[in-house]
Amino acid sequence: MHSTPATTHRSRRAVGLTLALISAVSFGGSGTAAKPLIEAGLSPLHVVWLRATGAAVILLPLAWRHRRIVRDRPVLLLGFGLLGVAGVQACYFAAISRIPVGVALLIEYLGPPLLLGYVRFVQRRPVTRGAAIGAGVAVTGLAFVVQVWNGLGFDALGVLFALGAACCQVGYFVLADAGGRGEKPADPLGVAAYGLLIGSLALTAVTRPWEADWSRLGGQVTMAGHHVPALLPAAWMILVATVLAYLTGVVSVRHLSPPVAGVVANIEAVVATVTAWFLLDEHLGTAQLIGGLLVLLGAFAAQAGRAPGEPEAAPTALTEPAGPAAEHPPASAGLRG
């Protein structure tokens, strides 16, 4: 039985959507894992450095296996590491140091609409009507999830940093997609491995990890009312919220379009809020439940349609931190970081 192009497209789209959901769920748990470490005495930036560097070390064998792409696509790897790994995290933390967490998170999640604009007006590629509608619905839902009205304030530099995080988020999806194009497509696994390696080196220069008290990782932290070894959430943050999240995320963009993958990534904020509810006892309000439903509806609308004449994704081998609150979004709910 021979497969038709339409069947192949549907199959690849299903794989891409599955990977995008796995990535969103994995990224969404990063804050729940990071918050107990921060409460134990590590600074947020040192936790971010631990996350990126730990993942980079684990992926060193993968980076060695795909070392050829360093010669073939050096600009792509540098851009992905600086924007998709280091940039979004550094900009986000700079933003929340000046403006409320909910406001910073909402501005960061303007990335999907910005991505739609970039694809449509800069790349001059068609976008689905569903992706455009889904982005609007998802951003509206995010406003409810982060309860932005609880902390409205304006700081020009803080807003600028948050917009920087949103732009870096756009770079993550655009560069993940660009890796599959050109005469020498870059394996997405290699892109993720080198992106984390480059990102961790950049973060080292910013965070000065030698000043941290890493002995705290040998102690206990509290999760879901229980004392657990600090190494447990650290391992979860590195292995699941970073290694698995980046690998599946980069690959999903190759199977979907960047705009669709970007809107589906909004689910991360919902996952972050729900996991914080169960593991950190940060209860959800009615507005957050409504917002979460809107985000899910937006993600569904984004992936349900395809613009006429839109090219299929190229075949392939194969969205931080946020801030704490019981009625605000959980710590480290931000995308890709």
CA dihedral 164, 170, 176, 177 (to 10 degrees): -150
Find the mean pLDDT for residues 315-332: 37
**Three-state secondary structure string covering 36-97:** HHHHCCCCHHHHHHHHHHHHHHHCHHHHHHCCHHHHHCHHHHHHHHHHHHHHHHHHHHHHHC
What is the model's pTM?
0.74
Q: What is the mean pLDDT of the chain?
A: 76
| Range of lowest pLDDT (31-40, 105-114, 207-216, 227-236) | 105-114
The pLDDT, as a whole number, for residue 318 is: 33
Give yes or no for residue 111 having a pLDDT over 90. Answer: no
Amino acid at 209: P
The model's pLDDT over 46-86, given as tens digits with 9 standing for 90+, comes to: 988 999 999 999 999 999 999 999 999 999 999 999 998 99
How many alpha carbons lie under 13 Å from residue 212 in its C-beta half-sphere?
22
Taking only Cα atoms into account, the Rg of the chain, rounded to an integer number of angstroms, comes to: 19
Find the mean pLDDT for residues 141-145: 72
CB of 195 closer than 8 Å to CB of 80: yes
The pLDDT, as a whole number, for residue 151 is: 56
The pLDDT, as a whole number, for residue 269 is: 65
Give yes or no for residue 316 having a pLDDT over 60. Answer: no
Give yes or no for residue 146 having a pLDDT over 80. Answer: no
Give yes or no for residue 306 having a pLDDT over 60. Answer: no
CA atoms of 112 and 132, how far apart (whole Å): 9
For residues 21 and 302, which has the higher predicted lDDT (pLDDT)? 21
